[in-house]
Amino acid sequence: MQAKVAVVTGGADGFGATITDRFHQESYQVIIIDINKEKGEQKASGSPNIHFLFGDVTQQDTWEQALALARDRFGRLDIVVNNAGITGAQSPVHTKDMGEYERTFNVNVRPIFCSARSIVPFMMEQGKGVFYRFNKWMVGAIQASNDISTGCTRPRPGFAFYNASKAAVSIATKTMALEYAPTIRFNCIAPAVGNTSMLQASIGSGADSQERLQRIEDLLPMKRVAQPMDIANAVWYLATDQSSFVTGTTLEVDGGRGI
């Protein structure tokens, strides 16, 4: 049986690296796109079934290269996981500059547009696909699957346009689910803050880092942060035929934060 193929953006680190591992565990060919060349090459060196593409997901050329790699080497592309994204420092809108605003929408929203432009026509011709996107909830320091955040469903002060970028992804995902059903499914995952290098950078490594972590955990009804495998398992569910009747939804994997 021919192996399925997944593209995971930001697949060299954090949630993306564990999502890559989850698909690899299920015998997928995984193409990771990342701007961190060192970590990307290191991730790909661990298996002949993980393939690293150095590129910027805000650029259309990067997506054309990813599609060409999948099509020419494997003859198919089944899953797109738009995991890459950024947050910013917590502060009210009037203190933000135009550069931060533009970066936020460029990195968090533009790749959804670029990936769909390149890959949707191929999936339509292929007859099946999934897009997924994360909408992340971050501490303030797919079929197609798109990563958003609980900031989209339960916004926090100080992150107005980060939250807005995630809401934009959510409504775009729902709209594309209508536009391309029944051939392609589009869904989002909204994680809570996760145990990744981004969290570690936020809480620091000083004597009070555990206290900072505890304050974050206390915000979550489940009293712990998301582990990368919590998110990877949710992505896997949305990517497989186990969720064949699920499209246009946001799955909150947030320990109850969004309630």
Catalytic residues: 162
Q: Give the span between the Cα atoms of 196 and 178, in whole angstroms.
A: 33
Cα(105)–Cα(98) distance, integer angstroms? 11
Whether the CB-CB separation of 191 and 220 falls below 8 Å is answered with no
Burial class, 212, CB count within 10 angstroms (exposed 0-12 / middle 13-18 / buried 19+): middle
- CA-to-CA distance for 252 and 227, rounded, in angstroms? 14
Answer yes or no: are the C-beta atoms of 7 and 80 closer than 8 Å.
yes
Instruction: Report d(CA 166, CA 146) in Å as an integer.
Output: 10
